[in-house]
Chain A
Amino acid sequence: MDTLLNRAAQRAELAEVYHLRCDTIPVVFRAGALESIDTKQLAGAALRVVCDGKLGYATTTDLARPEDLVEAAVSGAAFGESVSLAVPSETPPANADLMSGSLERVTMDDLVDLGERAVSRVTDVAPGTEIGVRVTKTIDRIVIENSAGLRAEEARGGVRLSVELSKASKDDILVLVEEIAARSVADVDLDGLVDRIGRYLGWSERLVPAPSGEMPVVFTTQGAIAPLLPLVFGCSGRLALLGMSPLKDRIGEAAFDSRFSLIDAPTLAAGSSACGFDDEGVRARRTALVSDGVAAGFYYDLRTAELAETESTGNGFKGGLLGGANFRNPPSASISNLAVGPGEGTMDDLIREVGDGLLVDTVLGLGQGNLNSGDFSNNLGVAFRIEGGKVVGRVKNAMIAGNSYALLKDHLIGIAETPRWVLFGRLFTPAMALSGVSVAAK
């Protein structure tokens, strides 16, 4: 690797090498039984260079031939974008909380055991359903080196458990999906998962007609992804720069309800995107995006920050907006872990307060709708009817729609107290309730 950086530095005024070694063990159970075990060991490198003020980029898995990678990046730089890229020279400390010591020692058998426990616990509360479980252990070892003198090294690891249950009859198919991202096997909260599944299945025993019109909707922690997703885009410094964010030129303005706060928090070690530094070697930090309803800032990578004449917030990641570790993509402005500030009370309090409306846990078509404008429009996955402050049955064949900016400004009923990690462990949010959400039922 030293050779790679040295070789590149001889031909470029700036060189940056990103090296990833990724070990993954996915264990899959289907129909309640173990189906397959994979062991994946991938290694690759990305080289970013600036030659005569122009950017070049190339990736490879062929680490034995560094000269080819250098040639590919340097030759591309001949007609690359003119940039002024100031990479950090000071090595940031690794986040020591990311690798639970026990994770390295977690074996295939441990993962199989966790999967079997999940299957058995879920079977107890969900008899007569088809159960699929996937348990994955991942350890990403990242080394970033640049010609300014930085050499940052970090291991990021975790265990992910996802459960999908289905119950199909001629007239109806019910699918429940739950996912937990944790730092190690011991941190996987099966009790919470089983409680939620049991509760949702109980509420699903009766199918009731979906209402139509504008109404209040309670979003579970998982359901809250739907109204929050447009903000992932709206808070991007890149999209603001491109004129594609409604928050552009509104920093300091009370754009949201004063009870709503949103931060990008790579420092929260429980989140799956926690890190000590981003994929450009910029030290990770907490970035306020919305503070007590006031638009507080955007998240930036180095290149976007340069163009916007500001500082990188340590949000240059290679996985894209929703991706994990990846050596192939160039870094771009992406969220790490997003956290919504907690409110008061429980989800059940919100259900009581709403009185009549819907409770939404999953939707289909996340990302559909005009995200740039803040619109979401989704088919209901798992959702329930609320009547008289109680859940009275499951609804289906209906769509919800709204504009996140409008709803989170003037239609916030409340945010619950206790957040949970959802969206593959990248969003830490409590349940929330919004009024005036449009529902179209068949």
Chain B
Amino acid sequence: MEQRIRKAIERSGADYAEVRIERSQRSRVLYQREKLEDLGTANELGGMVRCLKDGGWGVAVFNDLEEMEAKAAEATDAAALVGARASSPVRLASVPSVRIEHRIERDDDVRNVPLREKKELAEAYNRIILGESKSIVASQVQYADAFREITFANSEGSFLVQEVPDITLILAAVASDGAGNIQQAFEPIGSALGFDTVRGKEDEARRAAKRAVAMLDAEPVKAGQYTVILDPRLAGVFIHEAFGHFCEADFLYKNPQLAEIMTLGNEFGTSDLNVVDEGYVPGRRGNTPYDDEGVERKKTFLIRDGRLSGLLHSRETAATMDAEPTGNARAVSYEHAPIVRMTNTYIESGASSFEEMIRDVERGVYAIEAYGGQTEFEQFSFSAAYAYEIVDGEVGGLLRDVILSGNLFETLRSIDRIGNDRELTGGVGGCGKDVQAGLPVTVGSPHIRIRNVTIGGK
């Protein structure tokens, strides 16, 4: 394979060229109510050539590896067309060339587990959910695994082979009171390890079912401004969605107005706020030992002591902004060129215990687990999977329909307590940016308390 790639790179005629070949095996099991809705396997092989010519980028994507050489030439032609019209030529920060082979060896490797066993495990969880209560009208148990082998080579002599496992399980329950009130609850499980990740999750299945039923009696939250405590999972999603994306340098490097807002040293929060993106934490889905430009991972402090202290870079953004590449150029698959993405992103632990955080809140909301989220520049919106009201310093009744929104900068400044209980979450979700959705990432945080958060509702 290496020789074939080398030949394509050499003959491309590009100033810089890289080839990424991805071979993947996936399997999926989906139960909805008593039906096995989806049971399938996928085998995929594809590649991408990315070329730089006269300072412009060209990319070609293909499934037939026989065409690699022709595709390299095609990418170079496209690059030349871009180069001829580009206002400023692309430069790449220099990085050491790397030769590594990173293989996964595990007893519980998902590839060695028969599809039948995956199906039977999902079926067992599904049965638990459906059997929990008469109010449960539907369930969704969704198991998915992927094992990707990614080969990367560039014209600077790097050659990397990395194996990337990813395994996720969603245990979801839907309850109805039969009169139009339909509520759901879910438990997400995920890792970059093996099949053991999803074994023994009977309690999680029961928990999802019980909560869906409990949600039928939850009060819809009243719209207004609240002091909100976010649990580690929701706080992790908040920091990823609302702040992390702002630190992706490809968002800033051609936009002087935004780059001005994101100048290193600018104050974003109180002095005990620290935010990190770390390329490798054992077993985590966001892991990127070497990124899709062959750059080694880093631990990057985005916020240190309340001030912006770092951004996430590709080789291109690093060269433009006079910074070091951070190993954050990631592509969701061979169908796409790498763009700047997060890996494992979290808020560091602070000093407060949960008790200290809640005791002086007269009226507030304790929001747990993200159901979804979206940000657009400074505006964000995301929904808690469930929440409790806080009354006179204590956790009260269950609330539903809690959707938080706000302005990033105001909200970061309004974080007034940071817990001492940081957790990272495997999660099942993928991160979306531009046209690349479903990139595995990890988020984390301790509990955090935020003043004056807008919660929508009736």
**Which residues from chain A sit less than 8 Å from chain B, CB to CB?**
26, 30-44, 55-62, 68-69, 72, 75-76, 78-81, 108-109, 112, 130, 166-170, 173, 175, 212, 242-244, 246, 307, 328, 330, 332, 362-370, 372-373, 375, 377-381, 396-402, 438, 440-442
Cβ–Cβ < 8 Å partners of A363 in chain B = 381
Give the CA-CA distance A442 to B37 in the complex, in Å. 44
| Sample of 20 further A-B pairs with CB below 8 A, known A37-B59, A78-B116, A365-B373 | A31-B255, A33-B86, A35-B82, A36-B59, A37-B57, A39-B61, A39-B78, A41-B62, A57-B40, A61-B45, A62-B44, A79-B119, A81-B35, A168-B257, A175-B376, A244-B138, A368-B372, A369-B383, A377-B456, A399-B456
Measured CA separation A110–B455 after assembly (Å): 47
Whether the Cβ atoms of B383 and A39 lie closer than 8 Å is no
Partner of B224, one of A31, A75, A173, A440: A440
Checking B32, B81, B261, B381 against A399 with a beta-carbon cut-off of 8 angstroms, the contacting residue is: B381
Q: Which residue of B lies closest to A367 (CB)?
A: B372
B415 at the interface (CB under 8 A from A): no
- In the complex, 27 of the A-B residue pairs with CB atoms within 8 angstroms, ordered by the A residue number, are A31-B254, A32-B87, A33-B87, A35-B86, A36-B82, A36-B337, A37-B81, A38-B78, A39-B59, A40-B59, A56-B39, A57-B38, A61-B44, A61-B63, A62-B44, A80-B36, A212-B223, A242-B33, A243-B137, A244-B138, A244-B182, A370-B182, A370-B401, A379-B374, A396-B379, A440-B454, A442-B452
CB-CB under 8 A from A72, the residues of chain B are 41, 43
Q: Complex Cα distance A346/B116, Å?
A: 58
Contact with B380, one of A56, A78, A379 (Cβ below 8 angstroms)? A379
Name the interface residues of B367-411: CB closer than 8 Å to any CB of A. Answer: 371-383, 400-401, 403, 405-407
CB pair B457–A112 under 8 Å, yes or no, is no
B457 touches A40 (CB 8 A): no
Stretch in B155-163, B173-181, B340-348, B439-447 with 4+ CB within 8 Å of A: B173-181
Check if B56 is an interface residue, CB within 8 A of chain A.
yes
Judge whether B456 and A401 touch: CB under 8 Å.
yes
In the bound complex, how far is the Cα of B130 from the Cα of A1, in angstroms?
41
Chain B contacts for A377, CB-based, 8 A = 383, 401, 403, 456-457
Task: Please pick, from A42, A69, A169, A379, the residue contacting B379 in the complex, using a CB distance under 8 A.
Answer: A379
Contact in complex: B42, A108 (CB < 8 Å): no
Chain A residue with Cβ nearest B35: A81
Bound-complex Cα distance A217 to B421 (A): 43
Q: Is the CB of A368 within 8 A of B382?
A: yes
Across the A-B interface, the 4 shortest Cβ-Cβ residue pairs: A399-B456, A379-B381, A365-B381, A379-B405
Which one of B61, B223, B260 contacts A42 once the chains associate, using CB atoms below 8 Å?
Answer: B61
Q: Which residue of A lies closest to B140 (CB)?
A: A242
Among B86-126, those with CB < 8 Å from A are 86-88, 115-116, 119
**A442 and B454 within 8 A (CB):** yes
Contact A399 B223 (CB under 8 A): yes
| CB <8 Å contact, B452 and A42 | no
Chain B nearest CB: distance from A246 CB in Å? 6
Known: A38-B60, A364-B375, A366-B374. A243 touches B255 (CB 8 A): no
Q: Which residues of B have CB within 8 Å of A75? A: 115
**Which residues of A sit under 8 angstroms from B38, Cβ to Cβ?**
57, 330
Check if B299 is an interface residue, CB within 8 A of chain A: no
B454: nearest chain-A partner, CB-CB: A442
Q: Which of A39, A167, A365, A440 contacts B457 (CB 8 A)?
A: A440
Query: How close is B335's CB to chain A, nearest CB, in angstroms?
Result: 6
Partner of A246, one of B78, B180, B375: B180
Chain B interfacial residues counted at CB < 8 A: 82
Nearest CB in chain B: distance from A113 CB, A = 11
User: Shortest Cβ distance from B185 into chain A, in angstroms?
Assistant: 12
CB–CB B44/A166 < 8 A = no
Which residues from chain B contact A400 at a C-beta distance below 8 Å?
456
In the complex, which residues of chain B have a beta carbon less than 8 angstroms from the beta carbon of A56? Answer: 39-40
Chain A neighbourhood of B87, CB < 8 A = 31-33
Known: A33-B85, A130-B255. A401 touches B61 (CB 8 A): no
Docked CA distance A363–B375 (Å): 10
Assess whether B184 is interfacial by the CB under 8 Å rule: yes
A42 to B88, alpha carbons, bound, how many Å? 31
A31-B255, A365-B372 known; A62+B43 contact, CB < 8 A: yes
For the complex, give the distance between the alpha carbons of A78 and B120 in Å. 13
CB pair B372 A39 closer than 8 Å: no
Q: How far is the CB of B441 from chain A (nearest CB, A)?
A: 19
Is B183 an interface position by the 8 A CB rule?
A: yes
8 Å CB contact of B64 from A43, A108, A170 = A43
Check if A41 sits within 8 Å of B78, measured CB to CB: no
Q: Is the CB of B401 within 8 A of A369?
A: yes
Please name the residue on chain B nearest to A239 by beta carbon: B138
Q: Please measure, in the bound complex, the distance between the C-alpha atom of A330 and the C-alpha atom of B82, giving whole angstroms.
A: 38
Q: If A61-B63, A81-B36, A440-B457 touch, does A370 touch B255 (CB 8 Å cutoff)?
A: no
Please name all residues of chain A whose beta carbon is closer than 8 Å to the beta carbon of B225 when the two chains form the complex: 442
Choose among B44, B86, B182, B455 the residue that contacts A44 (Cβ–Cβ < 8 A): B44
CB pair B81 A112 closer than 8 Å: yes
Residue B258 lies at the interface, judged by CB distance under 8 Å to chain A: yes
